């Protein structure tokens, strides 16, 4: 609410200029404005009333209830994360410090084909909890298929396909941003391309996007990129290749071809973009080492196959191949257990260490037996060091690439997680911008804010401009850095001084204030019902 006003006195001076004395809720003074557009920075003040940015310019004569001196600091739009798994943690840590202390003001859930459903019930739970960041979700194709078909490797009947389309339609009307797939994961891996196209057409009717963990990111990467482009083209839907990377040493360099395909597709009118996290390791379930055919029918049937002499040897051979040429990066020591609920002592240890603890040589074959034991015990999450560093740089510099974490909310001290949940955005600003010059500051901020806002159809966030919501990150460009490492991941980023969400200060002097003003970000098909 604009408090202005000191009567909004206007005095006409002898020079013909007008003097306006105004008062606002919050003034951010003397900052270096990096507005999210990619344009060069400039110095100005930012005035906020209620939830909105109301003035940007020379406001030296104005007053405010709260003044933030941003001299020497960057003032940028709050960052928007297009790919999180923040459902893991947001109800335990609604302040979401791991995100907010990086300047992230909007999170999106429902990625990799897995999402809450129904959407409206999930949104109500978020509203009831009250959280610090804004929140949006995608409808997960894997969730939809699992509800209708389960974990079976078969095509849907006509009636089942109609049922799945109705679920996507319902989710879009209830506010989903689009549809996500995890075609690497069961049951997404059992989904024919044509089925994905049919479901994506429904999301397209409501203005949504298609965001995909592609079918493969290792040896079959290029086939997967082509499939993703085909889905966008035939469904008539904007496409985002999410957490784009190249896995497996023998495949490093393949981003040259994947990015060429993106450029060629865009040149012929296909709206395809990318997001990426700035690390050379991925994180997902230990099931990523198990062939998808062996996971058909769910956990119990998978364990039956592992226990069967007829199939165990075949599965083991495929696990060994994945350790050597895929997510294992050529050695069991590259696969670290990050979280194990049934045996927390495994967290932080790699498959080579676990093999030695079990009295075995740290060979890929013995590591495969350790994987079987982990699955039999209840499963685990793992970090896989197998991504090409030059590919990370090349993908980051591509103009169609945005930044996303692919991480949950950090529950401080729990497990040995991937550091991306604490460090992604600060790492880009500190390591890739300041230390290495891979990106300019302005381009990095664009990739973290307006680029994702436009991709998601969010038209009132992602830029510092009058009339937009006051989601704002204020940081020291000389200090901002990720502190979380693979060895010591539970460390918050440093250098983020202030963060505002919907006009409320949620981070002040580098500390969370406890405020929880986050809103639901509804997709373009939202009907309000």
For residue range 395-412, list pLDDT tens digits in order.
999 999 999 999 999 999
Q: What pLDDT shows up at residue 359?
A: 97
Q: What is the pLDDT of residue 116?
A: 97
Are 244 and 274 contacting, i.e. CB atoms less than 8 angstroms apart?
Answer: yes
pLDDT above 70 covers a percentage of the chain that reads 96
The pLDDT assigned to 272 comes to 98
Q: In the numeric block, which tokens belong to residue 280?
A: 């050379």
Give the residue from 480, 449, 492 showing the smallest Cα distance to 78. Answer: 449
Express each pLDDT in 218-248 by its tens digit.
999 999 999 999 999 999 999 999 999 999 9
Comparison of pLDDT for 179 and 528, the residue scoring more: 179
CA distance 351 to 295: 21
How does strand 496-501 pair with strand 104-109? unpaired
Q: List C-alpha distances in Å: 90 to 87, 284, 313, 399.
A: 5, 19, 41, 31
Closest to 237 measured CA to CA, from 228, 245, 246: 228
Mean pLDDT of 416-427: 97
Quick one: which of 191, 187, 183 has its CA closest to 242? 183
| Structure-token pair, residue 107 | 């999170």
**pLDDT at residue 528 in the model:** 85
- In tens, the pLDDT along 113-123 reads 999 999 999 99
pLDDT tens digit string along 67-98? 999 999 999 999 999 999 999 999 999 999 99
- pLDDT 10s digits, 143-176: 999 999 999 999 999 999 999 999 999 999 999 9
pLDDT mean over 250-276 = 98
Whether 277 shows a pLDDT value over 70: the answer reads: yes
pLDDT at 13 over 90: no
Mean pLDDT to the nearest integer, 32-58: 98
User: Other C-beta atoms within 10 Å of 125: how many?
Assistant: 12
pLDDT at 405: 98
Going by their DSSP bridges, the two strands 134-137 and 104-109 should be labelled as parallel
Average of per-residue pLDDT across 124-135? 98
pLDDT band at 187 (very low <50, low <70, confident <90, very high): very high
| Average of per-residue pLDDT across 484-494 | 96
| Cα 514 to Cα 63: distance, rounded to the nearest angstrom | 25
Token pair listed for 271: 């709206």
Both tokens of 60, joined, read 């030296």
Which tens digit of pLDDT belongs to each residue from 188-219?
A: 999 999 999 999 999 999 999 999 999 999 99
CA atoms within 13 A on the CB side of 86: 34
Average pLDDT over residues 266-270: 97
DSSP 170-201: HHHHTT--EEEEETTSTTGGG--HHHHHHHHH
Please name which of 181, 153, 149 lies closest in space to residue 162, comparing C-alpha atoms. Answer: 149
Cα–Cα distance measured from residue 204 to residue 198, given in angstroms and rounded to the nearest whole number:
10
What pLDDT band is residue 11 in, cutting at 50, 70 and 90? very low
Range 455-468 average pLDDT: 97
Mean pLDDT of the chain: 95
- Average pLDDT of the residues in 469-493: 97
Distance from C-alpha of 85 to C-alpha of 77, rounded to nearest angstrom: 22
First-to-last alpha carbon distance for the chain, in angstroms, is: 28
Angle, alpha carbons 59-518-85 (nearest 5°)? 125
pLDDT tens, residue by residue, 317-370: 999 999 999 999 999 999 999 999 999 999 999 999 999 999 999 999 999 999
Portion of the chain with pLDDT greater than 90, in percent: 95
Q: Please give the average per-residue pLDDT across 257-264, as a whole number.
A: 98
Which runs of consecutive H residues, i.e. helices, occur in 326-438?
351-357, 364-377, 389-397, 420-427
Question: Mean pLDDT throughout 449-475?
Answer: 97
Report DSSP letters for 197-265, one per residue: HHHHHHHHHTT-EEEEE-S-SSTTHHHHHHHHHHHHHHHT--EEETT---BSGGGTTTHHHHHHHHHHH
Band (pLDDT 50/70/90 cuts) for residue 21 is low
């Amino acid at each position: 609410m604009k408090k202005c006003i000191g009567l909004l006195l206007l005095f006409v001076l002898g020079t013909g200029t007008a003097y306006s004395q105004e008062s606002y809720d919050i003034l951010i003074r003397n900052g270096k404005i990096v507005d999210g557009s990619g344009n060069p920075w400039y110095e100005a003040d930012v005035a906020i009333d209620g939830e909105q940015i109301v003035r940007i310019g020379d406001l030296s004569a104005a007053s405010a209830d709260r003044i933030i001196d941003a001299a020497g600091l960057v003032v940028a739009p709050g960052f928007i994360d297009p790919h999180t798994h923040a459902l893991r943690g947001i109800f335990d840590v609604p302040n979401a410090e791991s995100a907010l202390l990086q300047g992230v003001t909007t999170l999106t859930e429902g990625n990799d084909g897995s999402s809450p459903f129904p959407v409206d019930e999930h949104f109500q739970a978020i509203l009831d909890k009250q959280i610090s960041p804004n929140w949006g979700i995608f409808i997960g194709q894997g969730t939809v298929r699992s509800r209708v078909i389960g974990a079976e490797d078969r095509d849907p009947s006509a009636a089942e396909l109609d049922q799945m389309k109705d679920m996507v339609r319902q989710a879009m009307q209830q506010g989903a941003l689009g549809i996500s797939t995890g075609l690497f994961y069961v049951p997404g891996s059992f989904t024919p391309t044509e089925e994905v196209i049919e479901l994506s057409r429904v999301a397209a009717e409501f203005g949504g996007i298609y965001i995909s963990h592609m079918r493969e990111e290792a040896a079959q990467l290029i086939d997967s990129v082509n499939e993703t482009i085909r889905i966008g083209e035939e469904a008539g839907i904007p496409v985002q290749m999410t957490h784009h990377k190249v896995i497996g040493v023998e495949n490093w360099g393949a981003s040259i071809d994947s990015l060429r395909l993106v450029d060629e597709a865009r040149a012929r009118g296909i709206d395809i973009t990318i997001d990426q996290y700035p690390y050379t390791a991925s994180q997902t379930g230990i099931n990523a080492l198990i062939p998808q055919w062996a996971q058909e029918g769910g956990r119990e049937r998978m364990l039956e196959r592992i226990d069967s002499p007829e199939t165990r040897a075949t599965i083991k051979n495929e696990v060994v191949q994945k350790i050597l040429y895929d997510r294992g990066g050529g050695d069991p020591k590259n696969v670290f257990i990050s979280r194990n609920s049934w045996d927390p002592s495994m967290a932080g240890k790699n498959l080579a260490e676990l093999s030695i603890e079990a009295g075995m040589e740290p060979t890929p074959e013995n590591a495969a037996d350790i994987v079987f034991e982990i699955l039999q015990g209840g499963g685990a999450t793992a970090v896989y060091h197998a991504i090409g560093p030059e590919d990370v740089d090349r993908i980051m510099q591509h103009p169609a690439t945005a930044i996303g974490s692919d991480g949950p909310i950090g529950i401080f001290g729990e497990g040995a997680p991937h550091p991306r949940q604490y460090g992604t955005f600060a790492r880009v600003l500190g390591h890739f911008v300041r230390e290495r010059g891979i990106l300019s500051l302005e381009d990095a901020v664009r990739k973290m804010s307006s680029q994702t806002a436009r991709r998601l159809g969010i038209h009132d966030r992602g830029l510092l401009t009058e009339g937009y919501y006051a989601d704002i990150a204020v940081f020291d460009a000389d200090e901002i850095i990720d502190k979380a490492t693979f060895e010591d991941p539970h460390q918050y980023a440093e250098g983020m001084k202030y963060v505002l969400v919907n006009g409320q200060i949620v981070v002040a002097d580098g500390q969370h204030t406890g405020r929880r003003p986050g809103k639901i970000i509804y997709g373009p098909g939202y009907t309000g019902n």
